Structure 1
Amino acid sequence: MSFIKKIFSGRSNKKNKQASKEVEPSDVKKTETNANEAVSSDAESQEALIKVHDEYGREMQIGKQEWLNNVLLGNLDKNRDNPDELYNLIISALNDGFEAHIQDASARLYEIDPIKERGACIHGIVLMKNKQLDEAEKVLKETMSIVGQSGVLLTNLAKVYAERNEHALAETVLWSALEADPNQDNGLDWYAVIHHERRGEAAYIEALRKVSKLPGAWRPQLWLAREALKKGEKQVALSFYEEIFRILQQPDSQVLQQISGDLGQSGHIQEIITVVLPHFVIEHHGFSVANNLIKAFVELKRYPEAKSLVEALFAYNRPDWKEGLTYWMTELDNLMGDYGPVEDKEPPKLALMPVNQPIWLHKLNATEHIIPQKSEKPFTILTTSGSCSIAENHDQSMKQKTNEEGSICRGIALSFCDKLNMESSAQASMLVPIIEDAGFVFFGQRYEESWATQLVNHSPCDLIILPHLYAESSPWKLELRLFDPADTSLVKTITKEFSADKPSQALKELIEETYHYITDNYAINIADSSPNLAQISPQLFAHYVDANEVCLALSLACNVEDGASTLYGERNIFDKLLTLALEEPNSDIHKLMLVSAMSKNKAYGSTIYQEYEKKVKKLVATQHSGCDTSKVLEKALCDIYGNKDEEDRLGVPTS
């Protein structure tokens, strides 16, 4: 199978004999599957895990038995008078193989559902799953006596007869069901597979053609179009699609997903856009259809349109879409970016971005009490982004978005400055090499001593530190060289080795050892502050270093034109900071990092911060913070999102 065929997903018409009403469950916290998918066996349902999302959008998995006992049964009882929610819960339970536990709930739905056909079908299916065929037949027939012989009711009645091995009667009733509604998915699939199993592919196609001649039929044409594409008859398929859209004014997600998937697997990428896009509405069709449209845009190298669609989908804050959207945003960042070696023909404008306070206080107000006050002439320490020796060494500078090596090289310097600024009388600053209006500069060779001289000339200091990361082979080694700025003589070299996948302990020890060396050997007093690095779990220290570098990247975005273009996956950044704040509830630093990130996002003109409003406000409201930190956070939230309570009190209209 070609790459083109692999990447496009279309709904399969595997001959599924399950006869249930086509449903589209509403968005609930549990990740749903479509009701028409095969239900797992009891054994599978007990062993498998259920994917759920918590109120912060984090994906979690719990055992099915735990889900049944602690979530599902309680929700069924809680929603026994809410037919729509009860319906969704029952569909979910069927897909998870819990039919033995939902008979009372389905009976209740049958009793209260104002959509009689829906309640009867679901109750009938549950009864069939529990081998109560006579009761299922009774429910379906009683409902037909009230609402008439609808296609879906007749299909499920045919299913009852098939379960009794009354196949001739089942086929007669099934045809009546198709005459009543030739577009019901399950009934059509079942009818077609019967003929395929008897006489092969030709009979399958003839069965579809027969149903397509019934008044109002459009779904058979969907399958006939697929068969035409398999034969290379594109125009025939397009004619079928035109016929479908003449009949079907508002196609559902299954229809558009199948059309886009079939066209994609046949290599007709442009036709996906021309045929499907005019009918696509995010609210109705969601990610399943959008995914194929994004793939088509990417294949056609129409990257801005793909990115616009991804951004529009992100705005819906659907946890179940997030993984796919994050993948596409990362891919598009890579495809649209121009990051790499700096071209010699256009010499870059190198600049040094100063960082004089914790980068996670940037764009926050009223932060004067967070860091201990310094004297008029404190002992000053200057550092810079680390240079790095990597496996494929670079002789030239690199213009760079964040990667693992760059994150450590910049993050360790920021974190060391945090330690000194929060826990000593010294003033620690960092000069970050950047390309003007672009990104960070990554030095692929160890700094010469002359670089220390250049930095001192830019910013006079009492001590200068040059970091370097050796990442050519495992283990990695991080080195801090301390220089006397008077003559740039080497004073001390401190190093730590570590595994690239477990750097936390070594990074923490390196900062601590350097901090103690400086405070022991220079006129620096120990200070105390809250927040401080002691609040950060040792096993998560590398995440703090990485998050520090992320905050630096956001600050850079605030200071350059089109700041978002300097970043990889903004939502990945915010999710990372949110997760850290949740996992480190005792760390005020991580809360400040998260909230400052929202402020920076707003400052460089993005609107993504709005998607995180409820999550960030909830976290700040429910996690304890120090008094000074709380004041900063509360002020920041008002600055970012506005004081909604005050607006309500004054009667200020909101959009």
Structure 2
Amino acid sequence: MFKRLITALSGKKTAEAAPAAIAPSGESTAKDELIVAYDAYGREMQILRSEWREKVFLPSLEEKRNDAAELYQAIVSGLNDGFAADLLPAAERLVEIDDIPERSHTIQAIVLMKNGELTAAERTLRVGIEKAGATGTLLTNLAKVFAERGEEDRADDTLWQAIQADPNQDNGLLWWVSIQQERGGEAAYVAALKTVAALPESWRAQLWLARHYLEHNEIATARAYYQEVLAGERYDSGALMMISGDLGNNGQIPLIAELVAPVYDEHRHDPMAGLNLLRAWQALGNVEEGEKLLARMYALGYAPLKQHLDEFASAFQAMQKQAAVSTPADPAALKITTLSLTQPIWHYGLNKADWLFAQKAEELPSVGFFALSKRVEGAVRSESQREDEIGRMTRAISLYFAEAAHYWTDYASRFYVQVVEGGGPVLMGGETDGNALFEIVPPTMHYFVTGEMGCSGEGDRCEWQLSLSLWDCKARQKIATESRRVEHAGLGVLVLDLEQRLLAHIGQRREQPLDAFYQRPSVEAMAIYLGELAQAFTLTLVANKITPRDAMWGERAMLDWPLQMALQWPENEVLKLMYLSGLGKAFDYQSSVLMEYQQRTRELLREASIHSPVARLAPLVWKIFAMNSEFETHRQTLPADANEVYRNWLDGLASKVPVTNA
């Protein structure tokens, strides 16, 4: 089911808002209008209004006919989308089943008014008043009926009764003060707000007074009104959106942090106030508080927010990167080891799912790929710094070549990289001399590849320089070299070309990949694929406690990356496995953001065909997201002839400790 977009981002309203208790948005009702919606992955999509009505809205209305709360929300949504003509039976049904007469009679009256049935609307409002009393909402809508008939005095009197009954009823208040403004100008408008503010329990009028004084640069007066409202703790879930939006629109960013941040609760208050608060933290340069709030809001799992939260996540990451500084490092004080990976990087994180992948014998001849070095000029100094693009690519390209050898040759494949324990990977300056490696590679190794790369320019205008050397372990010499320069857009073509040249040199090529589902990434996808390999490697270091969790940044981007690739290229099963692999690693290091991915992952699993490797990894998903019933049922109902390796894999999953801090 799609979720509609929330459009109010700033909290800005006008005093001319519609007087109905629930104000339809006034959107066009053209049949070819496109409606914005979101799928289960949080992707924005557009659907024709007519198609939305037939395939989504009307079936949903029928589905919710026995649940008063859900039916009410569906009717409100229908009014906002301009489907009032379809809502008469639903509104009548709501009156029958709702135990909140004020709600049901108000919404039925609005539906009737939208359909031009003013007499019927008055009738249902009066019945509502008999049941619930003369509430502000019912009286405001009764005043609207009188106004529609042209009975101005009667409408005025009834509207003032509504204000006295509930001075905080948004539409009634705005309608009343706008009438005073039309009749007496700005002075009458301010006086009207002060009159309402003096009523018992009033707080909304104070917010509008605060806006007025903000716009007239009387900041102290506005602040006093805000403090009065917040101290009273009687405001509704949307008040903080208005406060934060008005402060932001008037350049009072520090006051958002001072007044809104201490009281904002993402579970109680409008999420748009949270977005405004995130903007404030960004403007103030407070990455720490921004990241904390970001984590809380991601945890809501609300699809229409995701794209906005992703933008803030990227902004905070960029701020962290800019603030990061390189620090000199003493090589003698570092404990450096060589890490060897014997499987493609995305095989890790799946709890050693050896039953899923074709295995190569340990005694097979092997080929090794060392992480590339960085091309440097002049003296090289040791320093500690944040990972950058060239650092990622030096590892990603070698990881890809190792993956290619694994899947397209009969060699065993190895990837080697030096890492600092408690730190991260080492980026060497200048190409490694292969002669120094002959003594440390295993005797089964026939070939290994070294190389270096550099980059000049920035962004899409950068030019990559890549050199590779192929070494023959038996002859103990370099037997081939490749050196290329290519613009950023040509990197994918270059890597695929070099892959073919390397595989041709080492021989023992396969006509079909080792696992039938494996697909080589396309030219279009290659640069993105390399980025994922680099991020998968970072997650592997964290999961294996080589890199500390608090040294990792951009975690959500790393977990999201392969899912976005899988949605872009849904026929490629490898991308989906990459995504699950990342979640598995996050599960291993007890990620605090992991549960944000439950809905999207379950949708991916639901869409997977029964023969897909993703479907076969369902128990891993169940374990990650504490779906214990599904996991245990599957485990207890295995057929008698189930593979022993698979049974052991399930047992290993069962013993894993669930995430407790998500």
Fold agreement, TM-score > 0.5: yes
Secondary structure class of the residue paired with 2:327? coil
The structure-2 alpha-carbon separation of the partners of 1:215 and 1:614, relative to structure 1 and needing over 3 Å to count, comes to closer
Match of residue 606, structure 1, among 553, 566, 591: 591
* Aligned 1:179-190 pairs, distance under 5 A: 179-190=164-175
Contact 1:15 1:193 in 2 (8 A): yes
Is 1:364 the counterpart of 2:355 in the alignment? Answer: no
Contact 1:20 1:156 in 2 (8 A): yes
Partner amino acid for 2:37?
Answer: K
Letter in 1 for 2:306: K
2:422 counterpart (434, 437, 460): 437
Given that 1:401 and 1:439 are in contact with CA atoms closer than 8 Å, whether structure 2 keeps it comes out as no
**CA spacing shift, 1:568–1:371, aligned 2, 3 Å:** farther
Contact 1:591 1:620 in 2 (8 A): no
Q: CA deviation at 1:554?
A: 0.6
Q: Say whether 1:289 aligns with 2:273.
A: yes
Structure 1 residue 79 displacement after superposition: 1.4
State how far apart, in whole Å, the 2-side matches of 1:412 and 1:532 are.
Answer: 22
Does residue 1:11 correspond to 2:14, yes or no?
A: no
Matched, 1:326 2:286: no
User: Where do 1:198-213 residues align within 5 Å?
Assistant: 198-213=183-198
**Which of 477, 480, 485 lines up with 1:491 in the alignment?**
480
Structure 2 equivalent of residue 315 of structure 1: 299
Is it true that 1:515 corresponds to 2:503 in the alignment?
yes
Residue identity opposite 1:14 in structure 2: T
| Residue 62 to residue 13, structure 1, CA distance change in 2 (3 Å) | closer
User: Within the alignment, does 1:272 sit opposite 2:261 as a pair?
Assistant: no
Could you say what secondary structure the match of 2:27 adopts? coil
Separation in 2, partners of 1:63, 1:396: 60
Deviations 1:108-160 (A, max 9, x none): 22343222221222222222223333332332233224333221122122222
Distance 1:544 1:463 in 2: 25
**What is the deviation of 1:419?**
1.7
**Is the CA contact 2:518–2:573 (under 8 Å) kept in the aligned structure 1?**
no
State the shift of 1:362 in Å.
2.0
Q: Flag the 1:192–1:467 CA change in 2: closer, same or farther, 3 A.
A: farther
The partner residue of 2:87 within 102, 106, 116 is 102
Cα pair distance change 1:58/1:433, threshold 3 Å: farther
Query: Take 1:560 and 1:454, find their aligned partners in 2: how far apart are those partners?
Result: 29
Would you say the 8 A contact 1:282–1:313 is kept in 2? yes
For 1:435-478, what per-residue CA distance to the aligned partner results, in whole angstroms no more than 9, with x for missing partners? Answer: 553444557x7x44x44445556546533324555654769567
1:465 aligned partner: 449
1:139 is aligned to 2:121: no
Q: Which amino acid aligns with 2:243?
A: I
Q: Are the counterparts in 2 of residues 340 and 398 from structure 1 also a CA contact under 8 Å?
A: no
Q: CA deviation at 1:505?
A: 5.3
Give the Cα–Cα distance (whole angstroms) in 1 for the partners of residues 504 and 76 of structure 2.
Answer: 62
Contact in 2 for aligned 1:588/1:626 (Cα 8 Å): no
| 1:590 alignment counterpart | 575
Cα gap change, 1:386/1:637 in structure 2, threshold over 3 Å: closer, same or farther? Answer: farther
- SS of residue in 2 equivalent to 1:190: helix
* DSSP-derived class of the 1:354 partner: strand
Normalised TM-score (structure 1) = 0.82
The one-letter amino acid of 1:483's match is L
Decide whether aligned partners of structure 1 residues 410 and 101 sit closer, same or farther in structure 2, where only a CA change above 3 A counts.
farther
1:39: which partner in 2? 26
Partner of 1:427: 412
**1:176 matched residue in structure 2:** 161
| Structure 1 residue 276, shift from structure 2 partner | 2.9
Q: 1:561 to 1:114 in 2, by over 3 A?
A: same
2:24, 2:80 within 8 Å by CA — same for their partners in 1? Answer: yes
1:328-362 Cα distance to aligned partner (Å, 9 max, x none): 33333333457767434766946643323211122
Task: Judge which range, 157-166 or 484-493, deviates more.
Answer: 484-493
| AA partner of residue 335 (structure 1) | M
Compute the displacement of 1:101 (Å): 2.8
SS at match of 2:12: coil
Partner residue of 1:72 out of 39, 54, 57: 57
Moved more, 397-406 or 615-624: 397-406
CA contact (8 A) 1:351 1:436 kept: yes
Question: Match of 1:196?
Answer: 181
Partner Cα separation in structure 2 for residue 625 and residue 161 of structure 1: 62
Structure 2 CA distance, aligned partners of 1:375 and 1:119? 71
**Superposed displacement of residue 183, structure 1:** 0.9
Check conservation: 2:328, 2:384, Cα contact below 8 A.
no
The amino acid of 2:39's aligned partner reads H
Corresponding residue SS for 1:285: coil
Deviations 1:53-86 (CA, angstroms, capped at 9, x unpaired): 22x4443332222111111011111212222111
The 3-state SS of whatever aligns with 1:194 is helix
One-letter code aligned to 2:563: L
Q: What is the SS of the residue equivalent to 1:552? A: helix
How many corresponding residue pairs?
621
Q: Is the 1:209–1:220 contact (alpha carbons within 8 Å) kept by the matching residues of 2?
A: yes
Alpha-carbon spacing, 1:439–1:646, altered in 2? closer, same or farther (3 Å): closer
Distance 1:488 1:276 in 2: 67
TM-score normalised over the length of structure 2: 0.81
Q: 1:117 aligns with which of 102, 105, 113?
A: 102
Q: Which runs of 5+ in 2 are unaligned?
A: 1-7, 637-653
User: CA–CA distance in 1 between the matches of 2:317 and 2:121?
Assistant: 54
